[in-house]
Amino acid sequence: MKISAHMSLWASIVFMLVSLYIAWSGFSSIDATMDAQAQADGRGYAWFWLFLAGVGALSALASWWMLRSGSEGE
């Protein structure tokens, strides 16, 4: 199955936005009254999803670059 560059671009953008929302939700749910271990776990969870959002952004950027460079040669 082939995935077009347009489909990859939009799927990467959706993945990035969902990951950003989950990371924001994770960071905003950390409460000062939580014990230190729970705060550290919450931050680790949020940072992981922020990393995944970065992967989605890089994938979207690569797809956009392929679309842009492919149309110049044709």
Residues 8-64: tens digit of each pLDDT: 999 999 999 999 999 999 999 888 888 999 999 999 999 999 999 999 999 999 999
- Look up the pTM and report it: 0.84
19: CB partners within 8 A, 6+ apart: 49, 50, 52, 53, 56
Element (H, E) at 2: none
User: 53: closest CA among 7, 9, 13, 25?
Assistant: 13
